[in-house]
Every structure is written in C-alpha cells, then in structure tokens.
C-alpha cells in the first residue's frame, strides 16, 4: 500500500512537470505568435504606407511631366488647325486628352468625349486657380495641367502601373464614394459599403488594408486610393513558428520525464523510510535512523520528527495530568475520580465521603485568596496522609472534596476523619478551624457510579441545610430531593397563574375582640403534589429569581380583595410578607403604588411585614427601600421579633409602626417565666417607642388573658381562627365586627 502511494507521488511529479512544460509551451507559443504577428503586421503596415506614398509620388511626377509639356507645347498645340493635325502632333506626348479654348470661347476637345464636353467649362475654371490637379471624370482619374494660353492637357492615372519588387503583393485600386456606397473605378461591379472606411486595419484573418483619400478638383465625388494585403501568408508563417515551438517542447518534455523518473527513484526510498518512522511514532515506538539518510534533508527531517515525538510524549503526560488533577491541590478532579471509581466498583464495594467547607468565602474575603489557597493546600496534604489510607482523594469543585475507602467505615470513624480534617490549620502564626458538612454512602460492587455520586451529593446538601457534620444517604433523602426538583421545575414564573391562592389569618384587637384585618398567607396548589407551603417554595422562588413575580401576584390579589371588601363596607388592613429580594429591589415601591392605585386601595390598608434578617442583607439599600415605602403611606411591621441578633438596633433605625413578637415566645407564655419577662419588656419598649405590638401564635384563652394583662395590642392565632379563604374570612369578620377601627392593625 505504501509503495503504491509513492508510485502515485512519482506520477504526480511527472504530471506536474508535464503541466509546467505545457503551460510554458502555450505561453511561449502565444508570446511568439503575437510578437511575430505584431512585427509582420507593422512591416506590412509600413509596406502599405510605402505603396500609398509611391502611388502619390507617381501622381506628382505625372503632374510635373504634364506641367512641363503644357508649358513647352501650348503654343504649338494652338497652331494645329484641325483634329487630324492635332492628333498627329500629340501622339508622341502620351496625353490622353487635350482641351483648347479658342478666342471665340469655343472649346476644342481631343479626342471628342461627351463627359469632357459637359465639364470643360468647369475644368477651365478650377484649373485656372491651381494650375494642375486631379479630376474624376467618367469613372476615370485624370491628371490635368492648365496653360494661360487656354490649353488643358490631361493624362489618365493608372493604379496598376509597375511597382517595386517588394510591393508586388500590395493590391491597389481606386474607389469613388457617392452617398454610403463605395464603387471601384473602371470596374463598376466592385461595390461595398462605405463603413469599411472606419474598419480596423487588421481583420480576423490578418488581412490588412489602407484607405487614403485623393485630393480632387470639383465636388462631384470623393475618391480614395485603396491598398490591401492578404493575411494568408502571414498565417502560414505563424503556423510554421508554432510547429517549431511544439517540436522543441516535445523534445524538452521527453528529457524532463527521464530526469523526473531518475530523480524520483532516489527520493521515494528515503520517503518510504520516513513513512515507516511516522507510523512508528504514531504507535509510540522508535526506530533508528539509517546511515544513508543521516546527513541529508530527509535525515534532518527524521531527527526533527524524533525530537517531536519526545516533546509530544511529554506534552501528552502533562495534558493528561492537567485533565485529571486539580491545578491547586494536586488532587484528582471530578472527571478522573468518576472514571477511577467506576473501575474500582467492578471488583469491590466502596464507602464514599463527600464534604464541603462551610463559609469558605468569608475566609477568602477576610484573609485573602492567598490564605485561602494555603488552607486548601494543607487540607489536601491531610487527605493524602490520613489514616485509614483512602483509595482516592479528589477535589470536585472549589470547596467540595471526596474520599473513597475500600472497606466499610462507620459513622463514628467518619466523624473522627472530619474532625481531623477541620481542626488546627496554621495560618499567619494563628490557628484556624474549618466547618465541614459531609454526606456518606456505601456503594456495593457493580453499582452505577453516576447514580451513586448523585445520591452522595443529595446527602451532602442535606447536611449543609441541617447544619450537621454528617448525613448518611437513605431513600427518604432521594424522595425529598425529587420533590424539590419537581417544585423547581413546576414553579410558575409569571403572575398570570391560577395555581396560587391566598388564606387570611385574622388579626384581633385584644381589648374588644374586634377583627381589624389579617395576615395574607400564600399557598401553591401544585397539580400533582397538592397544597405546598410557602416554607417550601418561597426559598426555591428566591433561588430561581422569580420571587418578584410571586410577591406582585400576592399584592395584586390582596389589593383586589381589599377593594372588594371596601365596596361591601368593610375597612380592613392586610399584612404581606416581603423577602430579602423584594426589599433589595429598587422598583418595589413603584410596583406596589401602581397596584394600589389600580385597585383604588389606601396605602395604609397594605401592611408590609419584614424580618430583621431581610434588612441585614445590604442594610443601606434595604433601609432606602423601606423608607420610600413608608413615605408612600404603607405600614411597616417588624416580623418574628426576638429571633434575630440585632433587634434593638433595628427598632431604632427602621421606620416601623408595628412590632410582631415571634410565636416562639408566645407558645409557652403561661408556663415559662422567662418568656413572660421577655414579652413584657418587649411590649413596654415598643409602646415607649410609639409602636403597636402584635403577638402571633395565640392558641388558648389563658394566653389571651395573660397578653391582656401585659397590655399587648393585637393578637393572631388558632385560638381565634385558622387561615381562611377570602369568603370564609369575610363571614367570620362580619360576625365579630362591632367596634370602630383604631390606628394600626
């Protein structure tokens, strides 16, 4: 197969040589032919011009001869008394015609011709002005000379007179022009269109012609001298030149083919050796360089390819390492770990431990990226040197790592491993502890590694959500994960949906039991999972970026209900919870104002509830949004008061009108003295700051009585009513509504 390829190379070389010579031959032929034709055409053009000049010269000589004759013989001509004596006298002067004007103005013509008789008077007039000239008369050209004694002598102009030997090939003729038609003098059958006067000098058959106008006396016609050369001899000469060039080309081609064949034999053999070497390089093998090719160009190419082979091998190892290892820690990456684990599961079972470094971003932000990289280096060394020795240590992403063990490892051992990996990191002469959240799974021999890693990731995520160190995978986690995926996939992303609905939990004034409003609680009627609590789907909506759509739907729905209740004569206030993403949205005040104006609802009827952890995210932006909402007239409530870390600071800075005590302090209020102390203090503090206090989670009469004693303003909870649909909520309100509405909820 290799030999046939090099044989084809030989034929390609031959074809290339033939092609080059053929192109050179065509080029040489074209250049020679065009150059030869141009030279010959130029020579023939000069020959035509010489013929024209010669003809004009003969006409001038004839005129000089006539002028001499007429000067010398005019008196003698006038002495001839009759035509016979005149004929005898003129026979020796080669004259074709003589006109004699007598004293009595009669004109004698010799020999007598009707055309001469008709033009005699004009001839005497025209020739008297110039003395001599050419006259076209009766399809003839005449040279005529005038003598003041009244004699005109004429001699016919002949184009077929004897030419020089070099001009014999020029065909000469005289043509006269009338209208658009040329007609040859002395041969009336030869006619052609006058347009030939504008034709090129050389036509497609290399025939060359020259037209030159003759100066005439009188205005009867225009006369042209015409010279023409036949192009056939020129074409024959050019063909002979081409034949000579083609003969030379064939000879050169034969010699070139022999040289190519001889040279290709010496080139194909080293190329075959080079081909074998290239195949060996492709197989990762090595062959020695033959001595015969060591010092020539092919041998140098062989050596360069040999060096390239070593460079490619080193490059391959380097790229393979980069493709399978983490560049920072040197641990195996996710792709390579999956391949190695898949191979290991073919012959043994494995215990996999996947863990994430919690709050690693804070380490980078506070100590710098260099310090963060140093911690990861130390963590990687511990993973490689730990006991029991792991089968595999890998880094999956920036803060996620994997350990694989051949034997089963119980939870106690795994916790010890996590503890050894999280403690006592030395950094800038200080100790640092890491918080790790891990998931664990046991995979039997032959298990699907892709499925196993997915389950392991679910367990790790669950450990991170629960804030624990270790979670071992079980099927219930997979079910919860699938439920979460279903919620993410099916969550409505537009406000035009009928899957959401609102329940209203009444808010009651303690001193008279009157319902002043409610808290709007959104629910999701999932097509397959049923009613989904906001505790499940609100975090998902925040993560997916569609919380603004849900908040806008809730505000529009509440505003619509408030408008309808207002038309029924009920003036109520409804609280709506805002997430951190809502508060950080600078367009929120404008959207809320638009919704309230559209439904003709007073801004004070919409109570906006925010948690202090919402305001802790970018406090400057959050505070600006809340102040703008307060300026628009909406009431602001601090929700879940007491659960955060800086509640008192927010009481001072936020534009709050109401404060809601978290249910955690209300549930056991009657039994827990500390809860009573906290609630009493909170109520007194809020009243001192001019704020209304709401207690949520009231579920019995004893708690209601105690809250009255503590002077709490408003309450809500199952003791009064569970969250109700709009129609049931209105019926419930109408049963209790007797006292007038006071400020606040």
Domain harbouring 416, CATH code: 3.30.70.270
Mean pLDDT for 656-678 is 89
Residue 684: its pLDDT value, please? 92
Instruction: Look at residue 254 and tell me if it is in a domain.
Output: no
Instruction: Look at residue 234 and tell me if it is in a domain.
Output: no
The candidate with the shortest Cα–Cα distance to 71, out of 135, 156, 153, is 153
Q: What contacts 416, CB < 8 A, 6 or more positions away?
A: none
- Same domain membership, residue 585 and residue 507: yes
Residue 615: its pLDDT value, please? 67
Judge if the upstream peptide bond of residue 558 is cis by omega within 30 degrees of 0: no
Q: Rg of the chain's alpha carbons, rounded to an integer? A: 60
Decide if 701 contacts 717 (C-beta within 8 A): no
Strands (E), 428-509: 431-432, 435-443, 470-472, 500-509
- Same domain membership, residue 701 and residue 601: yes
Mean pLDDT for 26-30 is 72
The candidate with the shortest Cα–Cα distance to 172, out of 216, 203, 141, 135, is 141
Residue 485: its pLDDT value, please? 65
Q: Where are the alpha helices (DSSP H) in 600-672?
A: 612-616, 619-631, 647-653
Residue 735: its pLDDT value, please? 81
Token code pair at residue 455: 């389950």
Please classify residue 257 by burial: count the beta carbons closer than 10 Å to its beta carbon, then call 0-12 exposed, 13-18 middle and 19+ buried.
middle
Residue 167 has pLDDT above 50, yes or no: no
- Same domain membership, residue 533 and residue 506: yes
Domain harbouring 549, CATH code: 3.20.20.450
Residue 152 has pLDDT above 50, yes or no: yes
Residue 196 has pLDDT above 90, yes or no: no
Name the strand (E) or helix (H) holding 634: none
Residue 714 has pLDDT above 90, yes or no: yes
Instruction: Look at residue 89 and tell me if it is in a domain.
Output: yes
Give 492's pLDDT tier (boundaries 50, 70, 90): low
Please give the angle made by the CA atoms of 334, 340 and 346, to the nearest 5 degrees.
135
Token code pair at residue 745: 């909820």
Q: How far is CA 339 from CA 86, 189, 336, 453, in A?
A: 134, 104, 5, 12
Give 219's pLDDT tier (boundaries 50, 70, 90): low
- Same domain membership, residue 732 and residue 605: yes
Give the end of a domain, one of 177, 201, 229: 229
- Same domain membership, residue 642 and residue 618: yes
Name the strand (E) or helix (H) holding 100: strand 97-101
- Same domain membership, residue 463 and residue 508: no
Residue 697 has pLDDT above 50, yes or no: yes
Residue 212 has pLDDT above 70, yes or no: yes
Instruction: Look at residue 200 and tell me if it is in a domain.
Output: yes
Mean pLDDT for 318-322 is 79
Residue 376 has pLDDT above 50, yes or no: yes
Give 710's pLDDT tier (boundaries 50, 70, 90): very high
Residue 205 has pLDDT above 70, yes or no: no
Decide if 635 contacts 743 (C-beta within 8 A): no
* Mean pLDDT (the chain, rounded): 80
Mean pLDDT for 366-377 is 80
Q: Which range among 160-164, 259-263, 649-653 shows the weakest confidence by mean pLDDT?
A: 160-164
Instruction: Look at residue 468 and tell me if it is in a domain.
Output: yes
- Same domain membership, residue 411 and residue 345: yes
Distance of alpha carbon 629 from alpha carbon 243, whole angstroms: 103
Residue 736: its pLDDT value, please? 77
> What is the per-residue pLDDT across 239-255, written as a single tens digit (0 to 9) for each?
777 777 778 777 877 77
The size of the chain, in residues, is 745
% pLDDT > 90, the chain: 12
Residue 286: its pLDDT value, please? 64
Give 709's pLDDT tier (boundaries 50, 70, 90): very high
Mean pLDDT for 512-539 is 80
Q: How far is CA 541 from CA 11, 90, 546, 580, in A?
A: 73, 134, 5, 12
Residue 33: its pLDDT value, please? 65
The candidate with the shortest Cα–Cα distance to 374, out of 359, 364, 362, 385, is 364
Give 35's pLDDT tier (boundaries 50, 70, 90): confident
Best-predicted range by mean pLDDT (98-102, 279-283, 454-458)? 98-102
Residue 476 has pLDDT above 70, yes or no: no
Residue 1: its pLDDT value, please? 45
Residue 99 has pLDDT above 70, yes or no: yes
User: Which residue do the tokens 């010398």 mark?
Assistant: 72
- Same domain membership, residue 320 and residue 338: no
Give the end of a domain, one of 473, 502, 527: 473
- Same domain membership, residue 727 and residue 600: yes
Token code pair at residue 44: 């023939």
Token code pair at residue 313: 């091998």
Residue 339 has pLDDT above 70, yes or no: yes
- Same domain membership, residue 512 and residue 457: no
Residue 132 has pLDDT above 80, yes or no: yes
Decide if 434 contacts 425 (C-beta within 8 A): yes
Please give the angle made by the CA atoms of 484, 489 and 491, to the nearest 5 degrees.
90
Q: Where are the alpha helices (DSSP H) in 111-204?
A: 114-130
Distance of alpha carbon 250 from alpha carbon 29, whole angstroms: 13
Instruction: Look at residue 263 and tell me if it is in a domain.
Output: no
Strands (E), 168-289: 171-178, 181-184, 191-193, 208-214, 222-229
Q: Which range among 130-139, 645-654, 696-705 shows the weakest confidence by mean pLDDT?
A: 645-654
Give 352's pLDDT tier (boundaries 50, 70, 90): confident
**Could you tell me which residue, 544 or 2, shows the higher pLDDT?**
544
**Could you tell me which residue, 508 or 94, shows the higher pLDDT?**
508
Residue 634: its pLDDT value, please? 86
Decide if 224 contacts 174 (C-beta within 8 A): yes
Distance of alpha carbon 245 from alpha carbon 682, whole angstroms: 117
Residue 518 has pLDDT above 90, yes or no: yes
Q: How many structural domains does the chain have?
A: 4
- Same domain membership, residue 401 and residue 498: no
| Phi and psi angles of residue 187, each rounded to the nearest 5 degrees, phi first | -150, 85
Distance of alpha carbon 56 from alpha carbon 507, whole angstroms: 133
Residue 203: its pLDDT value, please? 64
Instruction: Give pTM, 2 decimals.
Output: 0.49
> What is the per-residue pLDDT across 572-597, written as a single tens digit (0 to 9) for each?
999 998 888 888 888 888 888 998 89
Convert 316-335 to b/e letters by CB count within 10 Å (16 or more is b).
eeeeeeeeebbeebebbbee
Instruction: Look at residue 236 and tell me if it is in a domain.
Output: no
Give 2's pLDDT tier (boundaries 50, 70, 90): very low
Residue 8: its pLDDT value, please? 61
Residue 98 has pLDDT above 70, yes or no: yes
Distance of alpha carbon 67 from alpha carbon 61, whole angstroms: 10
Q: Which range among 65-69, 87-91, 701-705 shows the weakest confidence by mean pLDDT?
A: 87-91
Q: Which range among 101-105, 204-208, 375-379 shows the weakest confidence by mean pLDDT?
A: 204-208
Instruction: Look at residue 249 and tell me if it is in a domain.
Output: no
Decide if 244 contacts 31 (C-beta within 8 A): no
Mean pLDDT for 11-28 is 73
Residue 744 has pLDDT above 60, yes or no: no
Domain span at residue 438 reads 334-473
- Same domain membership, residue 338 and residue 319: no
Give the end of a domain, one of 229, 254, 273: 229
> What is the per-residue pLDDT across 251-289, written as a single tens digit (0 to 9) for each?
877 777 777 766 666 666 666 667 777 777 677 666 665
Q: What contacts 434, CB < 8 A, 6 or more positions away?
A: 357, 358, 375, 379, 421, 422, 423, 425
């Amino acid at each position: 197969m290799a030999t046939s390829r090099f044989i084809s190379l030989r034929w390609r070389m031959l074809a290339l040589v033939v092609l080059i010579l053929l192109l050179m031959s065509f080029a040489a032929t074209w250049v020679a032919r065009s150059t030869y034709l141009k030279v010959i055409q130029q020579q023939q053009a000069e020959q035509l011009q010489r013929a024209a000049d010669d003809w004009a010269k003969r006409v001038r000589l004839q005129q000089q001869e006539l002028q001499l004759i007429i000067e010398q013989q005019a008196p003698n001509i006038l002495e001839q008394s009759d035509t016979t004596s005149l004929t005898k006298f003129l026979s020796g002067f080669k004259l074709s015609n003589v006109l004699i004007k007598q004293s009595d103005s009669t004109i004698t013509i010799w020999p007598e011709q009707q055309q001469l008789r008709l033009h005699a008077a004009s001839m005497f007039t025209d020739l008297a002005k110039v003395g001599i000239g050419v006259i076209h008369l009766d399809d003839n050209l005449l040279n005529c000379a005038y003598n003041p004694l009244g004699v005109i002598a004429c001699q016919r102009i002949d184009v077929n007179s004897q030419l020089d030997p070099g001009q014999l090939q020029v065909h000469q003729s005289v043509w006269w022009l009338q209208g658009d038609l040329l007609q040859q003098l002395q041969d009336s059958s030869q006619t052609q269109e006058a347009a030939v006067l504008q034709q090129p000098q050389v036509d497609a058959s290399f025939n060359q012609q020259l037209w030159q106008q003759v100066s005439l006396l009188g205005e009867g016609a225009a006369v042209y001298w015409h010279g023409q050369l036949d192009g056939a001899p020129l074409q024959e000469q050019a063909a002979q030149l081409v034949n000579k060039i083609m003969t030379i080309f064939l000879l050169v081609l034969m010699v070139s083919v022999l040289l190519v064949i001889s040279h290709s034999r010496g080139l194909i053999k080293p190329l075959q050796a080079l081909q074998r070497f290239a195949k060996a390089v492709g197989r990762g093998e090595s062959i020695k360089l033959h001595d015969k090719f060591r010092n020539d160009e092919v041998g140098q190419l062989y050596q360069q390819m040999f060096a390239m082979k070593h460079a490619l091998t080193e490059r391959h190892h380097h790229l393979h390492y980069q493709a399978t290892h983490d560049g920072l820690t040197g641990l195996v990456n996710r792709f390579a770990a999956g391949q190695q684990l898949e191979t290991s599961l073919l012959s043994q079972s494995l215990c996999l431990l996947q863990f994430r470094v919690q709050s690693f971003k804070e380490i980078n932000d506070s100590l710098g990226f260099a310090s963060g990289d140093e911690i990861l280096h130390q963590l990687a060394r511990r993973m490689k040197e730990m006991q029991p020795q792991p089968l595999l240590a890998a880094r999956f992403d920036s803060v996620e790592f994997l350990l694989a063990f051949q034997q089963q490892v119980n939870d106690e051992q795994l916790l010890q491993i996590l503890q050894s990996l999280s403690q006592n990191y030395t950094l800038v002469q200080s100790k640092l502890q890491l918080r790790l959240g891990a998931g664990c799974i046991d995979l039997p021999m032959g298990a699907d590694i892709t499925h196993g890693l997915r389950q392991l990731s679910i367990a790790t995520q669950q450990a991170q959500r629960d804030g624990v160190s270790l979670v071992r995978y079980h099927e219930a986690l997979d079910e919860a994960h699938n439920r979460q995926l279903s919620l993410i996939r099916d969550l409505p992303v537009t406000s035009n949906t009928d899957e959401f609905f609102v329940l209203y939990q009444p808010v009651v004034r303690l001193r008279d039991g009157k319902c002043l409003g409610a808290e709007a609680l959104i629910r999701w009627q999932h097509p397959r999972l049923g009613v989904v609590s906001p505790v499940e789907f609100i975090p998902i909506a925040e993560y997916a970026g569609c919380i603004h759509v849900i908040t806008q739907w809730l505000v529009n729905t509440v505003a619509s209900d408030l408008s309808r209740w207002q038309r029924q004569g009920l003036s109520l206030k409804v609280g709506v919870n805002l997430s951190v993403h809502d508060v950080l949205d600078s367009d929120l005040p404008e959207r809320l104002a638009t919704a309230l104006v559209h439904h003709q609802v007073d801004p004070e009827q919409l109570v906006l509830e925010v948690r202090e952890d919402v305001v802790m995210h970018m406090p400057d932006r959050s505070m600006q949004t809340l102040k703008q909402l307060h300026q628009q007239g909406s009431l602001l409530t601090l929700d879940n008061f007491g659960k955060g870390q800086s509640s008192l600071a927010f009481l001072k800075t936020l534009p709050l009108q109401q404060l809601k005590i978290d249910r955690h302090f209300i549930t056991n209020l009657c039994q827990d003295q500390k809860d009573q102390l906290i609630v009493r203090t909170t109520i007194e503090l809020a009243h001192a700051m001019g704020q209304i206090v709401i207690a949520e989670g009231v579920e019995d009469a004893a708690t209601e009585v105690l809250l009255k004693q503590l002077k709490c303003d408003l309450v809500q909870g199952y003791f009064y009513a569970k969250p109700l649909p709009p129609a049931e909520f209105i019926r419930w309100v109408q049963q209790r509504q007797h006292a007038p509405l006071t400020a606040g909820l």
